[in-house]
Amino acid sequence: MAARLLDGKSLAAQVRSEVKESVVRLARRGIVPGLAVILVGDDAASRVYVRNKTRACEETGVRSLQIDLPASVSQDALLRRIAEINADPALHGILVQLPLPSHIDAWEVMRVVAPEKDVDGFHLRNLGALVAGAPGFVPCTPAGIMRLLRHAEVPLAGRRAVIVGRSGTVGKPLALLLLQADATVTVCHSRTVDLARETLQADILVAAAGRPKLVSAGMVKPGACVVDVGINRLPDGSLAGDVDFHRVNDVAGWLTPVPGGVGPMTIAMLLENCIRAAST
């Protein structure tokens, strides 16, 4: 039997319509939520992500200001630009598209973004709040995954969750959110010995490695919920996730498609964070 599809596209559309309602409510208080999006350099994938984010802003009534800086921009100049946005009351959120050129220290950049405008949830204060279970901005991709799981009523408490990938933007924050939801969490990475032995234990399996078709059907426990975070551009130009969708579809109980799964939810959570930043 085919897995139930975790349809991020339609859930994200629902979130966007709630965001639109919030924009109308904020307008009654004279507030137009504003997001500054900083793009450094000319990475093709980053350009696409930024375009998708600014489009979603336009569609929902969140004002977006895109700031394009050359790859050669100095770290000081970038930090100064962020400081200006921090001081601008019309801009409630700041997003610095990653990755940054190698001469720029991304942690230093994240440190300078005002925590109350840090709609990506990457400032150490927000990451610390996540560790402590305190309120703060939660990184958008992990937040979107949790929303998808909750919406589909995937049981989490007491279940085994296995995450493949330990990045600071996806794997690690997601591990904390799944722990908060009372799952028993394992985080795998490139040095994990016998990945399949780990993934076969998973009631919830999240693939966030950036390796096309890393997760095969033989690595999935029958009935498991499989979330595919990966976005990989194949040599023929097509997009693929980290999961062998067609084969895993016969084994899993739930499955996210790529595209149309986690990606749209990431953007939807960004919009929600912008509304929250503008509301406080």
Select the residue interacting with ligand NDP from 62, 82, 163, 208 (CB under 6 A).
208
CA distances from 76 to 81, 96, 103, 108, 153 (A): 9, 15, 11, 10, 46
Q: How far is the CB of 232 from ligand NDP (least distance, A)?
A: 5
The per-residue b/e assignment along 17-29, b for 16 or more CB within 10 angstroms, e otherwise, is eebbebbeebeee
From the list 7, 97, 172, 242, the catalytic residue is 97
DSSP state of 219: G
Select the residue interacting with ligand NDP from 31, 65, 129, 195 (CB under 6 A).
195
Q: Is 228 a catalytic residue?
A: no
From the list 7, 117, 118, 120, the catalytic residue is 120
Length of the chain: 280
Select the residue interacting with ligand NDP from 46, 75, 86, 167 (CB under 6 A).
167
Does 273 bind ligand NDP (CB under 6 A)? Our answer is no
- How many of the chain's residues bind ligand NDP (CB under 6 A)? 26
Output 136 or 264, the one with its CB closest to ligand NDP: 264
Select the residue interacting with ligand NDP from 15, 26, 170, 270 (CB under 6 A).
170
Output 82 or 188, the one with its CB closest to ligand NDP: 188
Q: Is 120 a catalytic residue?
A: yes
Here the tokens at position 20 are 């639109």
Beta partners for residue 207, in sequence order: 164, 228
Closest CA to 228 of 266, 250, 202, 255: 255
Return d(Cα 162, Cα 206) in angstroms, integer: 6
Q: Which residues are catalytic?
A: 53, 97, 120
